[in-house]
Structure 1
Amino acid sequence: MFRKPKIVVIGGGTGLPVILRGLRDQNADVTAVVTVADDGGSSGILRNYINVVPPGDIRNVLVALSELPDLYLDIFQYRFKTSDQFLAGHAIGNLIISALSEMKGGIFDAVQELAEMMQIRGHVFPVANEPLTLNAEFMDGSRLSGESEITKAHKQIKRVWVTPSNDEDGHEAKPVPEVLEAIKNADQIVLGPGSLFTSILPNLMIHDVAKAVCESKAEVIYICNIMTQKGETDNFTDADHVRVLNQHIGHHFIDTVLVNIQPVPDNYIDFQEWNEISQPVGHDFQGLRAQGCRVISSNFLRLRDNGAFHDRELVVSELMNRLHQVHD
């Protein structure tokens, strides 16, 4: 009897939904594990006012895996105009997730309820059932807390870690058990694409999550970013991205890296519109192989709206190829 391959995608930010939308239409059992350490924009305001897990990343992932008609999803994604004062900048979906979190007494049960309402194909698991705070130490020895503060500092990051936001007793951040179960049973674990320090690592900095990923028999695939990110990965090569991941976990745990080698045309990027990015990620294939990685270099590029993104179909096709090669 055919068993759908189990794919766990770990991350946050805008890159994750792109890949999930492609995986949704494959014959696979997809689980998205989403960071809860975002504190910017509408998510941050709601988090501060009503002490809920920031809903923005979760909202985008729910939409990516939903089979509802586009009109319903457009309403869920609608963001109030800045002239609306009281509701300025808030997405309707963020308000719904926050309300359900209060009703259900936590983000995890709220998201499961919403997943059913939104006809999700797959599973959406917030990595923890409480808001987490991202902390960073920079190369100059200084420290900051809060994702938005860390990114705004535009300083080279040495390391990051997470702590429970309501941490009065110094307890360790704990994942929801379903996340660990999904990782344990996965056939493939995908990291990214997304901000290295603020979308991917916050999930892996929960000790039990990192341990589960390292102990899993699944192939761990890292989708390397196409562009470097200001204040996070300036001047990074693909090998630098993997090195940071491995250093945070404590050993070489990335099995395979997907690297885009299609050049981004000069003068195509609108750096005012896409003000978080700075330049294409450099290549260091020797550095990747020295870390025990299988390197899959190909054209994964999609140019649109004067920005450089991953091409959903090309990336998902490669992920499915890897599944077949590993399990055939």
Structure 2
Amino acid sequence: MRKPRITVIGGGTGIPVILKSLRDKDVDITAIVTVADDGGSSGEIRHALQMTPPGDLRNVLLAMSDMPKLYERIFQYRFAETDGALAGHPLGNLIIAGISEMQGSTYHAMQLLSKFFHTTGKIYPSSENALTLHAVFTDGHEVVGESKIAGYKGMIDRVFVTNSYNQDEPTASRKVVESILESDMIVLGPGSLFTSILPNLMISEIGQALKETKADVTYVCNIMTQRGETEFFSDADHVRVLNKHLGDNVIDTVLVNIEPVPKEYMNTYQFDEYLVQVKHDFTGLQAQAQRVISSDFLRLENGGAFHDGDLVVEELLKILQVKS
């Protein structure tokens, strides 16, 4: 019998938590990773080489790899701020950039690196071109660039993507649509709603594939609201935004953490973008999704509130068992 196929879509530091826990399970994993990041090291590299940003791909590669910790530390090494043109760049970003140039595309680079680092599963950039994220706010103001969105004071109404270096319609990377259509489960998140998850779904081919797939589309709802993105959002608001952008009630299942984050626990200096715990609106959720699963998915670590990947994956596998 074939393994269940799970495709995880997102970016940032969210989906690596799920991928790391999925790696040890008897499932066929695919990761589809955002290419709209234009800040920090990724932004500098994408602008210099006009390539897809490497940072989110780097984090996913490490999460799905069985490489020894020493190799991981080397790949994640970040040059010191006194290192001139290299200042702040993780070594892994430069390696991905170099191999992308050598192989002719980031897609081919990730296939080579996946073999090199013995990854469990497949990794695809959501598009083979760098994308620019546009946010239109409720007051009509438009902000261009993922890294600039949180700086504008207002509520986001919608987002969309364009190709950064040509006028063509953004298209999905090869194998991406096929992976979505052939999956048994699609997992969205966890991660920044407007800047890590939606940039992938706003590629029309990916949005359409999510509507057509027979897979269970599961959203792992964020634990904390995020400054400049989801301030004052309930869990139902997160799902409403996803369905609105996709043009239909595409989300089948929502995973919601109901374990409280202890008061004063969050380190507001280290995690200053995260504000308060997401409020629950179960009536709103039930109107937006077929199934709502609320449980303790919380992991407290180093002054931050994160998803416990093992607990989330345990629930995902239960959903698959029910479907089969």
Q: TM-score range by the shorter chain?
A: over 0.9
Encode CA deviations 1:47-69: one digit per residue, 9 max, x unaligned: 11111110000000000001111
Match of 1:279 in 2: 276
Q: Map 1:86-125 onto structure 2 (within 5 A).
A: 86-125=85-124
Structure 2 Cα separation of the partners of residues 287 and 17 of structure 1: 28
Match of 2:164 in 1: 165
Q: Which amino acid aligns with 1:287?
A: G
Q: Which amino acid is 2:53 matched to?
A: P
- Partner residue, 2:196: 199
Query: Residues 1-328 of structure 1: matches in 2 within 5 Å?
Result: 2-167=1-166, 170-327=167-324
Percent identity over the alignment is 55
3-state SS, counterpart of residue 269 of structure 1? coil
Bigger Cα displacement from structure 2, 141-150 vs 82-91:
82-91
Shift, 1:213, TM fit = 1.1
SS at match of 1:33: strand
1:176 Cα offset (Å): 1.6
Q: Give the Cα separation in 2 of the matches to 1:86 and 1:177.
A: 33
- CA distance in 2 between partners of 1:118 and 1:73 (Å): 10
- Paired with 1:300 and 1:97, the residues of 2 have a C-alpha distance of 33
Structure 2: how far apart are the matches of 1:273 and 1:7? 32
Q: Give the distance between the partners of 2:128 and 2:153, measured in 1 at CA.
A: 30
Give 1:219's aligned amino acid: D
Q: Where does structure 1 differ by over 6 angstroms across 4 or more consecutive aligned residues? A: none
Q: Using the alignment, how far apart are the partners of 1:218 and 1:285 within structure 2?
A: 23
Q: Distance in 2 between matches of 1:134 and 1:69?
A: 35
Q: Which runs of 5+ in 2 are unaligned?
A: none
Secondary structure at the counterpart of residue 151 of structure 2: helix
Rounded to whole Å, the distance in 1 between the matches of 2:210 and 2:252 is: 11
Listed one character per residue, the Cα deviations across residues 207-246 of structure 1 (whole Å, up to 9, x for unaligned) are: 0101111100000000000000000000000000000001
Query: Do the aligned partners of 1:32 and 1:123 also contact (CA within 8 Å) in 2?
Result: yes
Shift of 1:73: 1.3
Hey, what's the Cα distance between the residues in 2 that align with 1:114 and 1:4?
23
Unpaired segments ≥5 residues, structure 1: none
User: How far did residue 154 of structure 1 move?
Assistant: 3.9
Paired amino acid for 2:298: L
> Partners in 2 of 1:78 and 1:176 — Cα distance?
28
Corresponding letter in the other structure for 2:198: L
Query: What is the deviation of 1:325?
Result: 1.0
Report if aligned partners of 1:154, 1:230 keep a CA contact under 8 Å in 2: no
Residues of 1 paired with 2:226 and 2:46: CA distance? 25
Question: Could you tell me which amino acid in structure 2 is paired with residue 206 of structure 1?
Answer: I
CA RMSD between the two structures:
0.8
CA offsets, 1:275-296, max 9 Å, x none?
1110000000000111233110
Normalized against structure 1, the TM-score is what? 0.97
TM-superposed deviation, 1:155: 2.4
The amino acid across from 2:111 in the alignment is Q
Q: State the secondary structure of the residue aligned to 1:152.
A: coil
Deviates more, 1:94-103 or 1:289-298: 289-298
Q: Distance in 1 between matches of 2:161 and 2:290?
A: 27
- Give the distance between the partners of 1:55 and 1:232, measured in 2 at CA: 23
Deviation at 1:152, TM superposition (A): 2.1
Q: Does the 8 Å CA contact 1:11/1:200 hold for their aligned counterparts?
A: yes
